[in-house]
Amino acid sequence: MLQVTPEQLQALSYERRITRWISEECPTCDYKIHYKFSGEDNNTVQFDPGCTCSDIETFRPKYVNSSWKEVAEYINGQQDMEKIKQIKEFWNL
C-alpha cells in the first residue's frame, strides 16, 4: 500500500507540471474520471466525474470541494497491485 502526503503530491504536480490525473474510468462509458489541478503552486483541486452514467449528485460535493488530502486518501486507499503500479509510474513514486 502507498503512503503519500497531500503536500508531496502537490509538490510533485507543480514540479512536473501535472494539470490532470485520471483516477479511474466509468465502468459504463469508459469516460476518464479525473482530478484537475490549477492555481498558484497547483493549490486548486477539482474532481471531474465527467459523465452522467452515475448519480451526479453523489459526486457534486467532491467536484466543488476537492483537495490534495482527498487525492492522497484515494491513492493511499488503493489495494489493487496493478492500480498501485500505475499510480507509482504516473506520480514517479
Structure-block grid coordinates of residue 75: 491513492
Percent of the chain with pLDDT over 90: 56
Q: Evaluate whether residue 25 is within a structural domain.
A: yes
In a domain, 43, yes or no: yes
Q: What is the DSSP letter of 40?
A: G
Note the residue count of the chain: 93
The dihedral sign for the CA sequence 38, 3, 31, 67 = negative
pLDDT digits (tens, 9 = 90+) for 7-34: 999 999 999 999 999 998 888 888 888 9
Range of the domain at 63: 6-91
pLDDT in tens, 47-58: 887 777 766 556
Q: How far apart are CA 2 and CA 87, in angstroms?
A: 9
Within 13 Å, how many C-alpha atoms sit on residue 27's CB side?
1
Looking at the structure of the chain, the number of domains it has is 1
> Looking at the domain assignment, is residue 15 inside a domain?
yes
In a domain, 1, yes or no: no
Q: What is the pTM of this model?
A: 0.84
Q: Looking at the domain assignment, is residue 44 inside a domain?
A: yes
